[in-house]
A and B are shown apart, each in its own frame.
Chain A
Amino acid sequence: MKKTSTPVLPARTAPGDGPLLAVDDLHVEFATRQGVVKAVNGVSYSLNPGETLAVLGESGSGKSVTAQAIMGILDMPPARIPRGEIRFRGTDLLRLPEDQRAQVRGQRISMIFQDALSALNPVFTVGWQISEMFRVHRGMSRRDATKKAIELMDRVRIPAARQRVNDYPHQFSGGMRQRIMIAMAIALDPEVLIADEPTTALDVTVQAQIMELLAELQRESNMGLILITHDLGVVADVADKIAVMYGGRIVENALVHDIYRSPAHPYTKGLLDSIPRVDLKGQELYAIKGMPPNLLDMPQGCAFHPRCPYRQDNCVTDAPPLYEIGPTRGSACHYWREVFDDSRR
């Protein structure tokens, strides 16, 4: 773990034993006027090439902050990373000097955001913004970069790319803007793509198009995909594995089929139980009582205990570790066995 020399970034083709990307015990906190907000409290997950990891959580669960820490786009200060590692092909990104970090950002790990309209610059054409990737990172000429931009717009299936390359973001629909964002993100063949709620602002029929496009691009290039979302439906559709976040922690991680079949954390179980189902029509929906925790005033012990139907006395005092409950899954609940048995019925 302790290295004295500055870490060096491994090559793209580096033969990796370990995962492509591994977040290990990451902590992120923000200094605010009301005090220190602990947004991420010891998050660990890993991603392999070609794999889709879904990070599921509500607002304030820390799912986006974790992603921003991976990308290195947190404003520091007010943000601070007191502990943790983010290993990309074995190299800790947090210990890399900024010039090397910049080599990773956008080139080897890239990101798309929820709101494409505000993520794109309204005063430049989309072609200019896409081709900027090639001009800045690859030193291409304007003409070559524009040619590349048109190719990319074709690849993300924007109709009439050649005619539209000089249009501005506002001239595109929401779905098309998201495609432009995706084009920029995949421009330099990243090994990891982080998609932060990529379809939340879109209609369902357009959402289906975008998810299909992402899956195709992933198949073509074997990149790892981190999908950040709150939508249990989208997760079930595309993910290989899931990390469920609550109050800045991962409360459950598992392969996608396992978690839907038999959740082992009361929060995950509550979320799945509260989905309206045809056979429960006319009955009251199951609802998790209470509300998500206030990050400035986190409950003692397990952050979920004020809302938890499985709560015992020790939940109020002892924060549960992420218990290893199977070869590929973990649950941060002292009483995961009860939850697991209940949900298997």
Chain B
Amino acid sequence: MTAAGEPILEVRDLVKHFPLHQGILLRKQVGAIKAVDGVSFDLRRGETLGIVGESGCGKSTLAKVLMALERPTSGSVRINGREIANAKGSELKRVRRNIQMVMQDPYTSLNPRMTVGDIIGEPYEIHPEVAPKGDRRRRVQELLEVVGLNPEHVNRYPHQFSGGQRQRIGIARGLALQPEIIVCDEPVSALDVSIQAQVVNLLERLQREFGLAYVFIAHDLSVVRHISDRVGVMYLGKMVEIGTDVEIYDRPAHPYTQALLSAVPVPDPDGRERRERIVLQGDPPSPANPPSGCRFRTRCWKAQDICAQQEPLLQIRPGTGHASACHFAETHDVVHV
């Protein structure tokens, strides 16, 4: 899992706004939900980029735009140098083969009326060149074996499997087209605690075996640290800090990252009275009407006048070794997750 080499996925100034309309007959746009508002990052071959942030920060919208399930308002997403954001027709089909997705909820993301074999084999209907018709059943059974399910269960239906097994089916479907990138949107958060580790291990093994690159979106910070080479922190549509796992977790520079890390309960009661905890006041503002300047300033204890006037850019700041978007960035080891 080295982070060297050419980026396989390049995201530049990605923006996704959802228009807000008013009126039924005379619909007019009255504003926009700024779900993703200028996000840039690279993902290299075989690398895992973790994306963390609270609900409403735009991480799931980001996943959809990466998959070209949503058209970005502006900006670019390149996979192996090929633009996917505005690709159409056969070009889109070709690029998409290389990027697949594992969804959060294994209960609703599998069609209950299809057998497991049909679910996992469906990508071959769209991309017949990957597996000739006669070969598909064997391929599907191989995939079941790869994700640790019994290949003989190919004719069963999703309801005959437990949550963890269903997530494995979702992962097998994601692998079917041998993509180079898999976007995992909260892949373990719907699972029981004792099952989560199994799925995390599976994802790591598959990465080693197939050289996959992951965009791993999750809110469980300790799982993200375990699996990620680099981590990006999002707040209200912006990437506020990005760096290696060690940089983000041991030397966080953005106040939001520090607050987020300090809020995570540590599974060890020893010394809990002495633990430093930054409890943020209030809730995140609405992405339809984000604060001016720095979006975090309304909840930030460091905020000054400049934060309201000037938006801090995501860049490497003096005294820190990685990029953060805060005028007063300062590394501070809050807590070890």
Q: Which residues of B contact A237 (CB under 8 A)?
A: 265-266, 269, 272
User: Which candidate, B39-47, B215-223, B300-308, is the interface stretch facing chain A?
Assistant: B215-223
Which of A233, A239, A272, A274 interacts with B264 by CB under 8 Å? Answer: A233
What range describes how many residues of B lie at the interface? 35 or more
CB pair B222–A275 under 8 Å, yes or no, is yes
B192 at interface, CB cutoff 8 A: yes
CB pair A232–B269 under 8 Å, yes or no, is no
A204-B269 contact in complex given A175-B283, A271-B193, C-beta closer than 8 Å? no
CB pair A204–B260 under 8 Å, yes or no, is yes
Secondary structure call for the A interface: helix
CB pair A58–B192 under 8 Å, yes or no, is yes
Which of B1, B249, B267, B272 interacts with A232 by CB under 8 Å? Answer: B267
The distance in angstroms between the C-alpha atoms of A195 and B199, with both chains bound, is 29
CB pair A260–B270 under 8 Å, yes or no, is yes
A288 at interface, CB cutoff 8 A: yes
Interface residues of A in 220-264 (CB under 8 A from B): 230-237, 239, 256-257, 260-261
The distance in angstroms between the C-alpha atoms of A103 and B132, with both chains bound, is 70
The distance in angstroms between the C-alpha atoms of A165 and B272, with both chains bound, is 36
CB pair B280–A205 under 8 Å, yes or no, is yes
Interface residues of A in 295-319 (CB under 8 A from B): 307
The distance in angstroms between the C-alpha atoms of A58 and B163, with both chains bound, is 12
A274-B197 contact in complex given A204-B54, A257-B269, C-beta closer than 8 Å? yes
Chain B residues engaging chain A, CB cutoff 8 angstroms: 1, 54-55, 162, 164-165, 192-198, 200-201, 204-205, 219, 221-223, 225-226, 245, 249, 259-260, 263-270, 272, 277, 279-280, 282-283, 336-337
Chain A residues engaging chain B, CB cutoff 8 angstroms: 58-59, 159, 173-176, 203-209, 211-212, 230-237, 239, 256-257, 260-261, 267, 270-272, 274-278, 280-282, 284-289, 291-292, 307
Enumerate 28 A-B pairs (CB-CB under 8 Å) in ascending A order: A58-B193, A159-B282, A203-B54, A204-B260, A204-B263, A207-B265, A208-B279, A208-B280, A209-B279, A211-B265, A212-B279, A232-B267, A233-B264, A233-B266, A233-B267, A236-B265, A236-B269, A237-B265, A267-B194, A274-B193, A274-B196, A275-B222, A276-B222, A277-B222, A278-B225, A278-B337, A284-B204, A285-B200
